[in-house]
Amino acid sequence: MTDLFAAFSEEDIAFAEEVRGWVRATYPAEMRLSVQRSVTDRIEREDHVWWQRQLYEKGWLVPHWPREWGGKDWSIARLFLFRSVLAEEQVPDYAGAGMELLGPVLLRYASDEQRQRFLPDLLEANVWWCQGYSEPNAGSDLAAVQMRADRQSDHYLVNGSKIWTSSAQKADWIFCLVRTSREDRKQKGISFLLIDMKSNGVTVRPIITADQTPEPYQEVNEVIFNEVEVPLDNLIGEEGQGWSYAKYLLEFERANPVTPALKARLNHLKSFACTARPDGKVVWQRPSFRERYLNLEIDIFSIEALELDFLVQWEKGDSPGAFASMLKTRGTEAEQRIDELFLDAAGFQNLAGRAIFACDEEDFPFSADAHLAAPAYLNGRKASIYGGTNEIQRNIMVKFVLGLP
């Protein structure tokens, strides 16, 4: 497969290799193994925090932020390369959703007092944040949120619920879209509110997904808010402007490369398929399997070319148009096809999938990769749903291509 870095300058490539060398010298192998197996939810909170602090001490935690908050003034190309290396080396995510999503919103829309209050703990990973957007009756229609925040004399009274909330069981705080008004069109009545998860009236209910990952490793939750009092000072920006802040937040997903993680996962699949199973069979020797693998490799190569086109447009300051939707759609579908091939390669071994959570690794009757093939496949079905379903992404692409309103 082609090397993504071949499209960049020698100076940028040298920087990428510096990053790679530092990651390999710093990042523990056991964490890499969990990410390889698509079970990042099994990485403990303290491990996520430890890794974030390594980046913080190195000065590479938030290179895209202003210098006063640890930024580096890197070019878009260098930032993209940096994140590509992290994805290829399969490092864990940041500690919660705060760093990647909340931070930029605070930098742009919060008051100076709020920045001083929340950003230092965010940078040092002292506080774990989760994101409260989706609701039981407002899935992909983000503007349809119903959770109320009624203004009282010195606080908001919050009632409602959020669903599919990733890592809520680990979180200290949650940033939410809430409805503060019904007097205007629905987008105008939304505000952006920060809520302490330890507040009276907040309840977290685990959602056990199709992969059957048990507590406390479950990935998503429902969060119930019953007469929760939230200080007025926890409102970010202005009342009724939360919709604009939410759209700004989602723009920061653009800088995350798609193909490096896909290629790393694909290489791991090939290594697994080339290893003899307990029955002595080597899946890689099957022509039908190799054909499917190579077709998928070609598709990822084309996604990589699309990603480079996207990067050029972004570097020039042009609107990304349909690029972001194309990358989301094709990237998640390729991810699901990798999961399908893993399932095929594991064969009968994946029948014991859930056992990985019930015993030590040395007690597994088969390899952990085989055990996790079925859970990873089932869990990966969500990839084409979250972040705007692929059906919605296709509608967005059609509007751009045909010039529809």
- CA dihedral sign, ordered 92, 98, 99, 100: positive
Cβ neighbourhood burial of 116 (10 Å; 0-12, 13-18, 19+): exposed
Catalytic annotation on 253?
A: yes
Query: Using CA atoms in the order 129, 256, 143, 113, what is the torsion angle rounded to 10 degrees?
Result: 40
Alpha-carbon gap, residue 173 to 296, rounded angstroms: 40
- Residue type at 133 in one-letter notation: Y
Distances (CA, A) of 8 to 89, 189, 242, 257, 263: 19, 45, 38, 15, 18
Alpha-carbon gap, residue 161 to 134, rounded angstroms: 9
Alpha-carbon gap, residue 236 to 244, rounded angstroms: 12
Dig out the tokens for 165 from the structure: 């909330």
Task: Report which secondary-structure segment, H or E, holds 291.
Answer: helix 287-315
Alpha-carbon gap, residue 277 to 15, rounded angstroms: 40
Q: Answer yes or no: are the C-beta atoms of 365 and 353 closer than 8 Å.
A: no
Alpha-carbon gap, residue 376 to 343, rounded angstroms: 9
Dig out the tokens for 19 from the structure: 């990053």
Which of 371, 378, 377, 379 has the alpha carbon at shortest distance from 346? 371
* Cβ within 8 Å of residue 402, ≥6 positions away: none
Residue 288 has a CB neighbour count (10 Å cut-off) of: 9
Q: Answer yes or no: are the C-beta atoms of 249 and 101 closer than 8 Å.
A: yes
Pairing assessment for the beta strands 173-179 and 129-132 based on DSSP bridges:
parallel
Of these residues, 17, 57, 251, 253, which one is catalytic?
253
> Strand, coil or helix: what is 144?
helix
Could you list the active site residues? 253
